[in-house]
Amino acid sequence: MTSYAAPTKDMQFILHEMLNVSASDTPGYSELEPDFTSAVLEEAGKLATNVLAPLNTVGDREGCTFENGVVRTPAGFKDAFTQLKAGGWMGLDLDPDYGGQGMPYVLGTSVGEIFVSSNMAFNIYSGLTHGAYSAIHAHASDQLKAIYLPNMVSGNWTGTMNLTESHCGTDLGLMRTKAEPQDDGTFGVTGQKIFISAGDHDLSENVIHLVLARIPGGPEGIKGVSLFIVPKFLVNDDGSIGARNGVSVGSIEEKMGIHGNATCVMNYDGATGYLIGEEHKGMRAMFTMMNEARHGVGMQGYAQAEAAYQNAVIYAKDRLQGRDVTGVKNPDGPADPLIVHPDIRRSLMDQKSFIEGARAFTFWGASLIDQVKDSGDRDAEGLVSLLMPVIKGFQTDKGFEMAVQAQQVFGGHGYIEEHGMSQFVRDARIAQIYEGANGVQALDLVGRKLAADGGKPVMAFFELVKAFIKENEGNKALNAHFLAPLKSASKDLQTAAMYFMENGMKNPNHALAGSYDFMHLFGHVCLGLMWARMGKSAMVALENGATDTEFYETKIATGRYYMARQLPATKMHLARIESGADPVMSLAADSF
Ligand SMILES: Cc1cc2nc3c(=O)[nH]c(=O)nc-3n(C[C@H](O)[C@H](O)[C@H](O)COP(=O)(O)OP(=O)(O)OC[C@H]3O[C@@H](n4cnc5c(N)ncnc54)[C@H](O)[C@@H]3O)c2cc1C
């Protein structure tokens, strides 16, 4: 059985010392006083530790069932969902006009991490509702918003996203599902969607599907796709639940992880759909929520690593194997605990330094999303769009790697199911695939985001790093251990971007073959920047006489580890990028 405790102290440090949220002029941030955020995070932590985490293994072992057309979630999920709703957690950062609490997204993200770490499969039901809510909120008519949003904010109705079809995943232009206009202004939606997370279940009264489909006669490819609300049950004029709509579950998937979340084949058979936004502009509506969705999946990556790491630490302190070569640490026992060994320390430091860096990066990303939402700040929008494929791709790859490292701390006991470490690895794996596979995130980053707006966002990022270094160069300790390595890593990133500019025009494969390395190089520089900022905040706290010296000293030591042991990976990624497309493309397809 695994355990989980919310890392609220670290979250508070990032919110209040690194980001200094309550001093920010972003609307809603002045309410985020430390006492308030602490109370919210502690409450979320209680629900996570006492209710959600104990259900994590149950969900994994029992999975969802599909019988006589009905999907059921594992034992305990329904009750936990009732508690989630009753606590108002579903609407924490949603619009008060529809019953939400209107808190900033950065707070929603902090709470989201706690829930995802404790039970990722369970959290997907509410996470997708949040995503569907955002698309409806941004693009649907006031009438549709009034019908659907209050029930989604309360959690009485949940949401889904229906993009994928059996022959079309990444390449959505191949989509076949059709939406025929009806005389009453609605559309008849027909087709099959696969892999639909939370597609059906027993947690809510209604399931609101957001479905991408083609209106016949529209443009070919991706430009001819529109977005529709297709509810499981139609809604009567008085807002009550009406007749069953023409949508049903064909089957649910057997899969590697997230067993507690139902992944459904959805059959649409002339189901009544309501257009959201303009005809053929469905992808535009989807893009609105894509940044948030990628951000949320990037958070899943390190949130799973956090849960796995916490259990690895407990095990490493408890399991007795071998002796400390520098001197016995447990003379009364037959051996010393695993944690004395440098290689176990390396593994735990890899995990800890990644997780805390990724948390800072994710919270910073959330604060940029808040800035865009409330002010329409174009510069922040450019940065969000540039950074989201990095948050999604880099953090889910590393999150999986760190979950594997945590499992490795258990040796063979991590591989068997008894200790629950295998579940973290299996659950973390999907985050590298859905919401756009990570290879496609890298393509998006290099193919679209680097050159977007004449390269303004990426230049703004480099300026941001440069300005931070310049501003703090006078701080000797920060300079030696944080700023110097950051400067060098940032230079590697600029050299790589330059390589693409010079060589990508001649042969696009030179850019595409290096795109995955570029995404990782970028991720390391971002975490390097976060560690430099956190290192500075910790040093300031110590200078100001903070009493919790252990916390701040640990923070600085963990940051120094990242800068010394992880950040040099930028050199390897740059060397790979500069080797160009030739080594990658040297074999003919028939030679494989
Ligand atoms: C458990 C689970 C839950 C899911 N939930 C949902 C959901 O709720 N809603 C939904 O709509 N979908 C969902 N999906 C689908 C998911 O988003 C897709 O599986 C994913 O986007 C990849 O599509 P695909 O599987 O068709 O792979 P493909 O598109 O066939 O890609 C296969 C591989 O090729 C690579 N690739 C593809 N095109 C290119 C290219 N041009 N250049 C280089 N590499 C390329 C990809 O990176 C990938 O590694 C879910 C999937 C799973 C397994």
Which residue owns the Cα nearest ligand 1 atom 53?
195
- Mean pLDDT of the 524-549 span: 98
Pick the atom of ligand 1 nearest to 261's CA: 1
- The first and second tokens of residue 405, run together, are 């490292």
Q: Which residue's alpha carbon is at the smallest distance from atom 6 of ligand 1?
A: 196
Alpha-carbon gap, residue 50 to 74, rounded angstroms: 17
Give dist(CA 177, CA 189) in Å, integer.
7
In the prediction, which pLDDT does 291 show?
A: 86
* Pairwise CA distance, residues 229 & 211, whole Å: 6
Give per-residue pLDDT as tens, 45-69: 999 999 999 999 999 999 999 999 9
Give the chain's mean pLDDT. 97
Query: Ligand 1 centroid vs 430 CA: distance in angstroms?
Result: 10
Look at residue 161 and give its three-state secondary structure: strand
Residue pair 299/307 in contact (Cβ under 8 Å)? The answer is no
Ligand 1 centre from 263 Cα, in Å? 14
What are the tens digits of pLDDT across the range 302-328?
999 999 999 999 999 999 999 999 999
With the CA atoms of 516, 520, 525 and 530 taken in that order, what torsion angle do they form, in degrees rounded to the nearest 10? 130
Q: Which two tokens stand for residue 287?
A: 């893009």
Look at residue 437 and give its three-state secondary structure. coil
Give the model's confidence band at 374: pLDDT under 50 very low, under 70 low, under 90 confident, else very high: confident
Judged by DSSP in three states, 497 sits in helix
- Give 67's strand partners: 70
Active site residues: 435
Beta bridge partners of 158: 207
Distances (CA, A) of 110 to 15, 123, 359: 9, 13, 9
Per-residue CA distances from 452 to 277, 391, 446, 517, 573 (Å): 25, 18, 10, 20, 23
Q: Which residues contact 313 (CB under 8 A, 6 or more apart)?
A: 339, 348
Beta-carbon count within 10 A of 182 CB: 12
Residue 505 scores a pLDDT above 90: no
Ligand 1 atom having least distance to the Cα of 168? 26
Mutate to test the pocket of ligand 1, among 158, 195, 448 (most ligand atoms within 8 A of CB): 195
Q: How many residues does the chain have?
A: 592
pLDDT band at 1 (very low <50, low <70, confident <90, very high): confident
- Render the burial of 48-64: b for 16+ CB within 10 Å, e for the rest: bbebbbbbbbbbbebbb
pLDDT > 90? residue 288? no
DSSP SS3 for 256: coil
- Counting ligand 1 atoms within 8 A of each CB, the residue from 289, 297, 434, 438 with the most, and so the one to mutate, is 434
What is the spatial distance between Cα 425 and Cα 359, in angstroms, rounded to a whole number?
19
Residue whose Cα lies nearest atom 41 of ligand 1: it is 440
Our mutation pick for probing the ligand 1 site, out of 170, 192, 429, counting the most ligand atoms within 8 A of Cβ, is 170
- How far, in Å, from the CA of 441 to the mean position of ligand 1? 11
Two structure tokens written together for 26: 């972003």
The pLDDT tens digits of the residues spanning 179-195 come to: 999 999 999 999 999 99
* Ligand 1 atom index nearest CA of 161: 9
Quote the DSSP letter at residue 212. Answer: E
The helix, strand and coil proportions of the chain, stated in percent and rounded to the nearest 5, come to 65, 10, 25
Closest to 358 in 3D by CA, of 403, 322, 316: 403
Ligand 1 binding residues, C-beta < 6 A: 161-164, 169-170, 195-197, 255, 263, 430, 433-434, 436-437, 439-440, 443
Residues facing 208 on adjacent strands: 159, 231
Report whether 562 contacts 353 (CB < 8 A).
Answer: yes
Region 442-471 average pLDDT: 97
The tens digit of pLDDT for each residue in 3-36 reads 999 999 999 999 999 999 999 999 999 999 999 9
CA 524 – ligand 1 centroid, Å: 25
Whether 289 shows a pLDDT value over 80: the answer reads no
Report how far ligand 1's centroid is from the alpha carbon of 559 (Å): 35
**Distance between Cα 174 and ligand 1 center (Å):** 13
Express as a percent the part of the chain with pLDDT over 90.
97
Q: Do residues 192 and 206 touch, judged by C-beta distance below 8 A?
A: no
Q: How far apart are CA 330 and CA 314, in angstroms?
A: 16
Query: β-pairing, 157-162 with 241-244?
Result: unpaired
For 60, what's the count of Cα atoms within 13 Å in the CB-facing half-sphere? 25
Span 69-80, pLDDT tens digits: 999 999 999 999
Cα–Cα distance measured from residue 128 to residue 528, given in angstroms and rounded to the nearest whole number: 31
**What is the distance between the alpha carbons of residues 130 and 124, in angstroms, rounded to a whole number?**
10
